[in-house]
Every structure is written in C-alpha cells, then in structure tokens.
C-alpha cells in the first residue's frame, strides 16, 4: 500500500501546528492507521534523544509518542539549535554538523533537501500516512527560493497543504486571506483547506468568519478548534511559552518554593513540567530584570550555550542571589548546562561555544568541566544515591565533568559509571540526566529531601491522557475524514 501525506503550515510561528499534529496523530492512530510525524526543518533548543543515538526536536518526539512509535532521526532531519542572535548549531539526521550563521544557512540549506526527502520517504515506507509540519510562516516569500521547511518542501515532495491560523492572537481572517494573496500562485494551489485554532467563547460567533475565509480563498473549512485547557499538560517547545511568575498546582499555597532563572539559552526546560503538577510545589519562573525570590530550591536547567548563559546569569546579579540563598541554608540543583555552571570552572579549549578559553563557575560544587569530544546522546537508567530510587532519562551534552564532589559524592549510579555530584553539605546537586524529575520514584525522593511530599503522579500517564483528550477534541471539531481525502499518495523517491 502506498502511503499518503498531508502538510500543515501556519500563518506564523506558534499558531499551534505542533500540538495540532500531535492530536491528529493520536486520533488517526486510534483509528488503526500507521502514522508518522515529520518536520523537515525545526528550530528549537528543546531536543530529544532517539534510540539510534541522534537527536530531534521535542515536538516531533511528542508527536511520535502520540503515534505510539519509537523516535527516529528521520522525523526531524534538520534541527537548528540557536546559540545567539545570529547563529545556531546545525544538526542533520540527528548528528551535529557544526555551527552556522543565519545568513549563511539561507544559501547552505538548499544542499540539505536530498537528505530531507530521503528521511521523508524513509518514514513513508513505514506508514499509512505521514503528517508533515511546516515551520514559522508559509508566507515568508523572502525565504522561498531555497526553502526546505514549508512550500519548498511541499513542492519537492508534491504534497498538499492545510493552513493553520490562530484566532486567539486576533487578525486571523487577515492572516489566512493575506497568506493566500502573498504566496506564489503555484504555492497557493497546494493549499486545500484551513483550520482556525484556539477559539475562546462561543464558536457560533465566528461562523460567518469561517464562511468568508472559505469564500475569499476557495479553501475548504476543515474546522474551528476551541481552546483546550488540557494542552497545558503537554510539554512546551519554545522558551516563549514559559510564563513568568508562580505556576503549577501549588502556586501560592505550596510548602516547597522553587525558583528557576530564565536564562537566554535555556534548553530542555520540560524537565520542570513534573514539578508543576505537584500540589506541594510552587514553581516560579524568574524573568530577567528580577531578583531571585526567597525560596527553598533554585534550579538551573539545561542551556544550549552554557558559558553564554553563565555570563547572562552574572549580568543579572543572580550569582549573588544564589550564593546568598546557599548561605541561608537553601538548596540548588543544576541539570546538564546548569550542572556545569555550578562547578569551579568551564574550559573550552577548542572554542566549541565561542573563543577558546576558560571561565569561572559558581564554585558551589568542587568539579570542573572541559568542553571537548563528541556530544553524548543516549538514554540512561540507574539509581539515585544513596536512596537507590529508580532513575530513567537521557543525556545530551558536550563535555566531561570531574572533580572531588563527583568522585566522592555522585548523585546517580548508572551501572557502568556514575553521574553528577553532591556538595559536602548535601544542599547542592548536579546531574547530566534530563528527565530525572519525570520518574516518580526519583522525584518523590528528591522532594522528600526538601521536606515536601510528592503526590505520586505518573508524568508519562499525564501526558498520554492529555494526548487522548486532544485526540477527542480533534474528532469533535475537525473534519478528519476530509483531511484524509486531502492527503495525497507519496510519490516514489
């Protein structure tokens, strides 16, 4: 049987394409179809480790989970991980290819299309239908010539498109109709339908809007999706989705107060999601320009560029706040890049993150990090020390961290080696393991160290329940049979 494919592009970034594809993937999988997600090009500092030792965007990891299939580097063949205002780390088929400046990438990316198409056809060979997600806006005509993410890919793969607009932002009619008028005629012909996302209030109030969009564009109205609160239980992909202030079930009344400084290159911040579901925890995201509040625990999460984020932390004066917090008896936890910051220093002899050199760390752990060698990308499991609580997660980092606190007081026993470090006081912890807090046993143990009780929720079940609720939402409000009719057979490679 020949697989079919359909692409979902947006009128702009953050209109809900990733969540939409995840919900459709779960809905179609429940109908008995073999579904695979695919995003030709993604830009995100949140990545997931695949079983074959690569990395892909976490949005595609969530979509694969919705399909009930293992992660594959083919699902996101080109991943850009920003490392500043003008440059990014380039990951192709799960492996780092080096650094690339935004200006240079525009001409460089045309050479990536063969690998993108090969990945697409690899997935098509495994599926009944491939759900393709575009990136950013479909109407970026200034980038169209060498595009591999939106209409350029749709043309190369010869597939049709459904356009997604976000009514919650306002101006959705102009966004959708404007896109029809801005894109080239040959691209506009590929757009077969549209979806209006995140409707708040009575859907009947926008019935005329749906009719008028269809009349002015000639596209099929696939559906008007009401806002769904359960989406909050799904991991966010972009740092822009991190709301400042206290969040979570325990906000304003929790026994345990956790503060997280929002650094510019924050990465894999979904490590924090399981804490937000704990009734005994108030999780506060601290934006730049604010002092760290009085709290019980400060968490330094992952960072795409550790040295740059460490400098940003010092510019904010948060290093002073953290040291004062520790002197008052507070706890600090660092994950991946945050762990590296807690040590005595970070050396970058090869200039992986910038000019070669060394910077002082916060000095809260007696360890030192050297950024060298290949990136470690692997799923891991082991036990938290000394309680022996189960740990499951993944590592995704460049560099090795060694020193007395790692040798004498590691945080995790991974079986063949030890990970992390604990200070002599026992109040500062560091680890390279992402997903550490998602495992109920490890989270319960760490919260108990701080005098708090975990509600014992299963984070994985929470995410799966949210995906099921999202799929129900899609079935109720979208013409899914109509979407299946729009999907075209995948042309042979």
Query: What span, in angstroms and rounded, lies between the C-alpha atoms of 92 and 41?
Result: 9
Half-sphere exposure of 34 (CA within 13 A, CB side): 11
Residue 434 is a catalytic residue = yes
Q: Is 224 helix (H, G, I), strand (E, B) or coil?
A: strand
Catalytic residue among 336, 397, 406, 473: 336
Q: Contact at 8 Å (CB) between 94 and 48?
A: no
Instruction: Let me know if 420 is exposed, middle or buried by CB neighbors in 10 A (0-12, 13-18, 19+).
Output: buried
Instruction: Let me know if 351 is exposed, middle or buried by CB neighbors in 10 A (0-12, 13-18, 19+).
Output: exposed
**CA-based nearest residue to 179, from 160, 198, 159, 162:** 162
Distances in Å between the alpha carbon of 201 and those of 66, 168, 177, 227, 470?
28, 10, 23, 9, 18
**Beta strand ranges found along 316-408 (DSSP E):** 331-335, 345-348, 357-360, 368-370, 376-384, 389-397, 400-402
In sign, the C-alpha dihedral spanning 225, 230, 235, 239 is: positive
In the chain the first and final C-alpha atoms are separated, in Å, by: 15
Q: Is 248 helix (H, G, I), strand (E, B) or coil?
A: coil
Token digits of residue 173: 């009619």
Catalytic residue among 325, 331, 397, 434: 434
Residue 336 is a catalytic residue = yes
Query: What span, in angstroms and rounded, lies between the C-alpha atoms of 366 and 346?
Result: 12
Which residues form the catalytic set? 336, 434
């Amino acid at each position: 049987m020949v697989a079919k494919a359909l692409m979902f592009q947006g009128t702009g970034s953050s209109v809900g394409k990733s969540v939409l594809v995840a919900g459709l993937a779960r809905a179609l999988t429940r109908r008995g179809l073999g579904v695979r997600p695919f995003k030709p090009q993604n830009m995100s500092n949140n990545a997931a480790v695949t079983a074959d030792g690569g990395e892909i965007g976490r949005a595609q990891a969530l979509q694969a989970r919705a399909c009930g299939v293992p992660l594959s580097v083919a699902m996101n063949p080109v991943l850009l991980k920003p490392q500043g205002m003008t440059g990014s780390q380039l990951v192709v088929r799960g492996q780092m290819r080096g650094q690339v400046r935004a200006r240079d990438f525009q001409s460089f990316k045309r050479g990536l299309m063969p690998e993108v198409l090969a990945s697409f056809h690899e997935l098509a060979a495994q599926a009944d239908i491939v759900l393709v997600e575009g990136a950013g806006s479909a109407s970026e005509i200034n980038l169209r010539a060498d595009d591999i993410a939106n209409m350029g890919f749709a043309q190369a793969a010869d597939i049709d498109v459904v356009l997604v607009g976000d009514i919650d932002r306002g101006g959705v009619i102009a966004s959708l109709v404007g896109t029809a008028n801005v894109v080239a005629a040959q691209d506009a012909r590929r757009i077969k339908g549209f979806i209006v996302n995140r409707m708040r209030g009575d859907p009947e109030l926008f019935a005329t809007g749906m009719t008028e969009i269809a009349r002015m564009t000639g596209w099929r109205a696939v559906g008007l999706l009401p806002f769904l609160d359960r989406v909050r239980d799904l991991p966010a992909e972009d740092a822009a989705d991190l709301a400042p202030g206290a969040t979570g079930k325990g906000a304003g009344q929790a026994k345990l107060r956790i503060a997280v400084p929002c650094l510019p290159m924050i990465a894999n911040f979904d490590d924090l999601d399981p804490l937000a579901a704990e009734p005994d925890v108030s999780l506060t995201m601290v934006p730049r320009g604010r002092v760290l509040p009085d709290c019980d625990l400060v968490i330094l999460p992952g960072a795409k560029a550790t040295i740059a984020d460490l400098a940003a932390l010092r510019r904010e004066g948060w290093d002073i706040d953290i040291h004062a917090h520790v002197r008052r008896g507070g706890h600090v936890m660092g994950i991946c890049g945050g762990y590296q910051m807690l040590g005595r220093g970070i050396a970058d002899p090869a200039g992986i993150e910038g000019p070669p050199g060394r910077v002082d760390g916060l000095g809260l752990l007696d360890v030192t990090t050297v950024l060298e060698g290949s990136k470690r990308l692997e799923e891991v499991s082991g036990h938290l020390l000394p309680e022996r609580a189960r740990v499951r997660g993944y590592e995704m980092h460049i560099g090795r961290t060694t020193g007395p606190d790692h040798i004498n007081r590691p945080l995790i026993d991974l079986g063949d080696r030890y990970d992390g470090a604990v200070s002599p006081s026992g109040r500062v912890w560091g680890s390279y393991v992402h997903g550490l807090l998602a495992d109920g046993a490890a989270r319960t143990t760490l919260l108990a160290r701080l005098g708090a009780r975990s509600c014992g929720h299963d984070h994985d079940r929470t995410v799966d329940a949210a995906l099921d609720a999202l799929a129900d939402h899609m079935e109720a409000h979208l013409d899914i049979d109509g979407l299946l009719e729009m999907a075209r057979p995948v042309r042979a490679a």
